[in-house]
Chain A
Amino acid sequence: GDSVTQMEGPVTLSEEAFLTINCTYTATGYPSLFWYVQYPGEGLQLLLKATKADDKGSNKGFEATYRKETTSFHLEKGSVQVSDSAVYFCALARGVLSAGNKLTFGGGTRVLVKP
């Protein structure tokens, strides 16, 4: 079955440091890939997405590139801020209509940015 593996956190960084969160997946076909962010006490927000190989999703200074050859979708940001402290979830979807377009989530990575 489909699966998503993320690096375990917490990841603790200083402000303006470079952030990378690794995400690899297992799925048949060509899934769409997503990164969601969850701030404390809130629901999940879509951060970025990519729908085909070599696509780069970007938003709010975050980037991730869909690498089919390595089945990866690593999240990066060049200079983090305290406000980036959150839990980040990698997810995939294969668009199986009979299964309600379900998402398969990774376990989440908690990021803490210190001033």
Chain B
Amino acid sequence: SQTIHQWPATLVQPVGSPLSLECTVEGTSNPNLYWYRQAAGRGLQLLFYSVGIGQISSEVPQNLSASRPQDRQFILSSKKLLLSDSGFYLCAWSHPGLAGRPNEQFFGPGTRLTVL
């Protein structure tokens, strides 16, 4: 069976510090990978997605970046955190699917980031 891991589970960082959040998927190959952010009491905002190693698509301009150095590893980074980067970060994966026949996404447990 497939599993998705995220770490750390919680993180408190000062403004201006760097960030690295990691997500790994087990039990599947060539998944689509996604990073979402959920601000307190708000919905989900898609930040990045990737359909293959080294391929990253950005959905919103921001001071965050993503990388996919391996097939089942997805990293979210920042060089300098802002207060507005606080939130709950969720990683997700899906099978690539077929055109017009999308597959569901499976979510990790999330990382709660507080920027002070």
Chain A, interface size: which category? 20 to 34
- Describe B's contact surface by its main secondary structure: strand
Q: Is B99 within 8 A of A97, CB to CB?
A: yes
Query: Which residues from A are CB-within-8-Å of B112?
Result: 41
Taking the closest CB of chain B, its distance from the CB of A34, in whole angstroms, is 6
| A115 at interface by CB-CB < 8 Å | no
Residue on A with the closest CB to B104? A46
Q: Is B109 within 8 A of A43, CB to CB?
A: yes
Q: Which residue of B102, B107, B108 is within 8 Å of A101 (Cβ)? A: B102
Q: Which of B92-116 touch A at CB < 8 Å?
A: 92, 94, 96-110, 112
Query: Which residues from A are CB-within-8-Å of B92?
Result: 44
| B32 at interface by CB-CB < 8 Å | yes
Chain B positions near chain A (C-beta within 8 angstroms): 32, 34, 42-44, 46, 49-51, 57, 90, 92, 94, 96-110, 112
